[in-house]
Amino acid sequence: MSVAKPKLAYDTAELIEATGLSKDTIDQAVATGRLRAKKSGVNKKTGEPAGKRVYLEEDVRDFLRSLLSA
């Protein structure tokens, strides 16, 4: 029997599936600072963050709680 592993982070597609929120809602929450996200890599030429957005599970929970209290 396998034990379910806790989810530590989500990419955007996983977050949409897990929460039922639209990509536009997630993008707006990130743009306004209500949901924290990090890029998964670094651009080798510029050193700037690049790649997929990653959302830590604790940040997702905080964001969802903020929706309930709004």
Number of domains in the chain: 1
26: tokens are 């997630």
Instruction: Indicate whether 3 belongs to any domain.
Output: no
Report the distance separating Cα 27 and Cα 31, nearest Å. Answer: 6
CATH code at position 54: 1.10.1660
Residue 24 phi/psi, 5-degree rounding, is: -60, -40
Give the range of the structural domain holding residue 35, as residue numbers without chain letter: 9-68
Prediction pTM value? 0.82
49: tokens are 């963050």
Q: What was the pLDDT predicted at 31?
A: 97
Instruction: State the DSSP code for 35.
Output: S
Helix 12-19 with 23-31: angle, nearest 10 deg: 110
Which tens digits make up the pLDDT trace of 2-55?
777 878 999 999 999 999 999 999 999 999 999 999 998 999 999 998 889 999
